[in-house]
Amino acid sequence: MKSKEENAHLIRTMWEAYHSDYFECCLKSFPNYYEFFTGGGVIDDFSFSLLGDVKGMRLLDTCCAGDAVQAFSWHNLGAKVTACDISPAAIDIARNNAEKMGLDVDFRVADAQTLAPIPDNSQDVVFATYICWYEDLRLACRNWHRVLKPGGRLLYRGVHPVAAVLGEEGGKLMVEEEYFDRKPDYYQFDATPAGRKYGVNVDKPTVNFRHTLADIINAICDAGFTLERVVETKAEREGFPQLSMLPHEMAVIAKAF
Ligand SMILES: C[S@@+](CC[C@H](N)C(=O)[O-])C[C@H]1O[C@@H](n2cnc3c(N)ncnc32)[C@H](O)[C@@H]1O
């Protein structure tokens, strides 16, 4: 079992090593990336409509990566966006892209669990994703609450924790992992499926963390938020009839007071 600092180091070094390949893969799977965002494009993300109009709002994206597709989409929806990532390589790529496209997004290197460079009471919206990389979800929620103005809203969206432990083979549903197992999951990161499709082969140790649905909701409430809405999406996955009957992604909207 490693310390929090060792775990954060493993995650940062893996993403530092992988990031330029990761962004190359993004460009291959999204060839009109630059035209799309300069033309005012907004990616298809089920959670984007949940907040209503974000025009003029200060919005923090906690985990943007080099592609920053959500950050650029929020920008194109009219929000004033600050976007963070723990990896300096990710932020360099995202900043270069913003400059190339003339999009005004403030990119910062920051751990989404602490948000050190982000002042208290400075945001109208926190958009939080990818909590599998966060060891301390409760600390993260307290800092998301800290940076929000009173009345500001958190939009969390991610894979539904039940969907994360299920698989399907030949029409048969399988529970692949213990839902309640919260031990850190150490593994050798090769690449995302998209990366492997394009011949990228990273080989770096890293770690992920599992959070149950109750862990997520309780961490948000205990940080001082009031829940407004929990949304579950249905998985519509071709070739996976069993998984298609179950939830796939989820979102939470909560208000800070
Ligand atoms: C899969 S990418 C996100 C990509 C993309 N923008 C999206 O949401 O589809 C995950 C990103 O999380 C970042 N990350 C991992 N741990 C983090 C943390 N504690 N704080 C901020 N960013 C983190 C990684 O550096 C990586 O760029």
Q: What is the pLDDT of residues 128-167, one digit of tens each?
A: 999 999 999 999 999 999 999 999 999 999 999 999 999 9
pLDDT band for position 47 (cuts 50, 70, 90): very high
What's the pLDDT tens digit per position in 231-252?
Answer: 999 978 888 999 999 999 999 9
Q: Is the CB of residue 20 less than 8 Å from the CB of residue 89?
A: yes
Q: Which of 43, 75, 133 to mutate to test the pocket of ligand 1 (most atoms within 8 A of CB)?
A: 133
Pairwise CA distance, residues 103 & 100, whole Å: 8
**Could you give the number of structural domains in the chain?**
1
Instruction: Tell the residue nearest (CA) to atom 10 of ligand 1.
Output: 65
pLDDT number for residue 123: 98
Q: How many CA within 13 A on the CB side of residue 12? A: 15
The ligand 1 atom at the shortest distance from the C-alpha of residue 129 is 8
Q: Is the CB of residue 129 less than 8 Å from the CB of residue 73?
A: no
Percent of all residues in the chain with a pLDDT value above 70, rounded to a whole number: 99
The whole domain housing 76 covers 4-256
Instruction: Tell the residue nearest (CA) to atom 19 of ligand 1.
Output: 111
CATH assignment at residue 247:
3.40.50.150
Give the chain's mean pLDDT: 95
Distance 243 CA to ligand 1 centre (A): 26
Mean pLDDT of 73-102: 98
Handedness of CA 129, 130, 134, 136 (dihedral sign): positive
Q: Is the CB of residue 93 less than 8 Å from the CB of residue 16?
A: no
The amino acid occupying position 221 is C
